[in-house]
Structure 1
Amino acid sequence: MPPSHRQARRTATTCGKHRTAIELLATAAARFAQTGLAAPDSRLESWCRGVTEIHTQRRTFAAHWRRHNAQALTGSGPLWVVLGDSTAQGLGPPDPWHGYVGQTLTELHRRSGLRWRVLNLSRSGALTRDVLNQQLPRLAELPATPQLITCGIGANDILHAPPPRLRADLRALIHAVPDGTIILDLPLPTGFWGIVGRLSTTYVRQTNHVIHAAARQRGLPIAEVSTLFIPPWNDKFSPDRFHPSQMGYTSWAEALLRAIPPTS
């Protein structure tokens, strides 16, 4: 078997074990590569390698946040609780602190002069209903009252749930989060992923309408990632072409910081 096909098969095996949106796509791409229609050293093969790299990060970044969460629970200072998926884990850059959570925390320290703690309850691959059924109960059990709660979710649902289910899940989640929770909207793939990006942009924009309407009804602030994480896309994506890079997460952090009340 040619090396490119062996790599594709390894990627297909790796990606098939989990259910993130990008790994489902990579599984299909890797199987296509096995047909022999994809040339060796093609962009497809490079992309599959990138997905494998990010897949490895899932384990190491999750372990990082487990250790950090244990320290945060025993520390002092204002508490920020993060709900969400792999973007909240910071997947993409080589270090989890270069994601939007780490970059935002650094700015919170600088802005307030206080030693903020962050408890990251997110999980890579999480769907909206996972936040509702797993992460929110953990939040409710905390002995301390958070000064800040943020929630960014929904990207994985796009490939896992039909539109009515996705809209219903988002409304249910936004109805259930505590008062004052900051909701991140979804980035728009405008000018990215070719025809896939063009076809999905309208759907993501409609999904954001649901997020904004439900958040406004609750009086919740919105971090408008969709207005700041925009073209040009140079260096804003990680090797899997799905998760942001460190530079890309800077836009996410800016959107979140704009939504955080000045008193925080």
Structure 2
Amino acid sequence: MTDGTYTRYVALGDSQTEGVGDGDDLSGLRGWADRLAERLAATNPGLTYANLAVRGKLAGQIRADQLDAALSLRPDLATVLAGMNDLLRPNFDPDGIVAEVEAMFAALTATGAVVATLTFPDVAETIPLARPLRGRVSVLNDRLRAAARRHGVLVAETGHHRVVTDPRLWSPDRLHASPLGHQRISEAMAETLRLPGADDAWTRPITPALPEHGLLRSMAAEFQWAATALGPWAMRRLRGISSGDQRVAKRPQPLPVFSTPISH
């Protein structure tokens, strides 16, 4: 339980927490964690915020590269999102993934920090070719919930709400949230943290609903996605490289946050 009063927020994770899909590398990435920090700052004057997330990182890499840095910053609020990149790899090991995440839960909560995470949506709903991975998402979510319970970590249950499959919440690569998707994630976290004014509005369908597409148009969209998103991702895997290679955290030190009007 939290009263919503914080002085320092630190975010750990991969591309979603870094903000990929919400802005670009030239103009800057925003993302759900930045949006959450802005909301926190509205009721916590003087809040400082660090974002240690780097795209492409596996759970073990996030623990190895970000945990000690996060602990040194002495946050009273931390978010930990890890595991999706592991889930997409052939050698999926849910127990190993959650062991890495749980180690972060344990270390951060031991300092007295409030820690929050979220469950993952069914990737097969947005990427039909990922249907063989459907069972992995359920297994990983169940283990993450159990680890969170053991350490008193708050869980934003974003995985089972139908709205998270709306294409408008996803960027063209279907792996990263769009600006609207990042806003919904930040609202889910705000509700989980019981921040002033937060509610379950983020779970509601987007209106108006999208029109149904015919078979040919749907097939064309799948071919386009495979060529522009799946192909480059697969090539990186084959070459043994990551989108996060040579990258560093965008906000490694806690800096003041200036609240902005909440956008949707």
TM-score (norm 2): 0.62
Q: Greater shift after overlay, 83-92 or 113-122?
A: 113-122
Residues 1:87 and 1:231: Cα distance change in structure 2 (over 3 Å): closer
Q: Which aligned pairs between 1:168-179 and structure 2 lie closer than 5 A?
A: 168-179=99-110
- What corresponds to 2:115 in structure 1? 181
Cα deviation, residue 103, structure 1: 1.7
Q: Is the 8 A contact 1:236 1:246 kept in 2?
A: yes
Q: Is the 8 A contact 2:52 2:66 kept in 1?
A: yes
More helix as a share of residues: 1
Residues 1:231 and 1:260: Cα distance change in structure 2 (over 3 Å): closer
Residues 1:106 and 1:141: Cα distance change in structure 2 (over 3 Å): closer
> Larger Rg: 1 or 2?
1
For residues 218-239 of structure 1, the C-alpha deviation after alignment (integer angstroms, 9 at most, x for no partner) is 1111122214573452321112
Q: Is the 8 A contact 1:229 1:251 kept in 2?
A: no
What amino acid is the match of 1:241? R
What amino acid is the match of 2:119? D
Structure 2: distance between partners of 1:97 and 1:159: 23
Cα deviation, residue 185, structure 1: 2.3
1:230 counterpart SS class: helix
More strand as a share of residues: 2
TM-score (norm 1): 0.62
Q: Is the 8 A contact 2:71 2:108 kept in 1?
A: no
1:178 counterpart SS class: helix
- Point out which structure has higher relative CO (alpha carbons under 8 A, 6+ apart): 2
Cα deviation, residue 262, structure 1: 4.2
Q: Is the 8 A contact 2:13 2:54 kept in 1?
A: yes
Structure 1: stretches of 5+ with no match in the other structure: 1-76
Identity of aligned residues (%): 26
Superposition RMSD on alpha carbons, in Å?
2.4
- What corresponds to 1:138 in structure 2? 69
Is it true that 1:149 corresponds to 2:78 in the alignment?
A: yes
- What corresponds to 1:249 in structure 2? 182
Cα deviation, residue 147, structure 1: 2.3
Is it true that 1:85 corresponds to 2:14 in the alignment?
A: yes
Structure 1: distance between partners of 2:193 and 2:165: 26
Cα deviation, residue 177, structure 1: 3.1
Paired residues in the alignment total: 183
